[in-house]
Amino acid sequence: MEFLVLASRDVRKSGRERVVMQAVMEAAEALGADRVEARKGNVYSIGVYVKDGERKTLVYIDWDKEDWDWKRVYSHIVGSTRVPSILSKGYEINMKA
Domains of the chain by residue range: 2-88
- Residue 53 banded pLDDT, cuts 50, 70, 90: confident
Are β-strands 55-61 and 47-52 bridged in parallel, bridged antiparallel, or unpaired? antiparallel
Please write the tens of the pLDDT for every residue from 55-88: 899 999 999 888 899 999 999 999 987 644 444 4
| pLDDT score at 54 | 86
Which residues of the chain form beta strands (DSSP E)? 2-8, 35-41, 47-52, 55-61
Q: What's the CA gap between 5 and 38, in Å, rounded? A: 5
CA distances from 18 to 5, 21, 63, 69 (A): 11, 5, 15, 11
Average pLDDT for 34-50:
93
Topology given in CATH for the domain delimited by 2-88: Glutaredoxin (3.40.30)
Q: Are 8 and 46 in contact (CB under 8 A)?
A: yes
pLDDT for position 82: 66
Instruction: Give the count of beta carbons closer than 10 Å to the beta carbon of residue 31.
Output: 15
Is the pLDDT at 94 greater than 60? The verdict is no
According to the model, what pLDDT value does residue 92 have?
A: 42
Q: Over pLDDT 90: what percentage of the chain?
A: 54
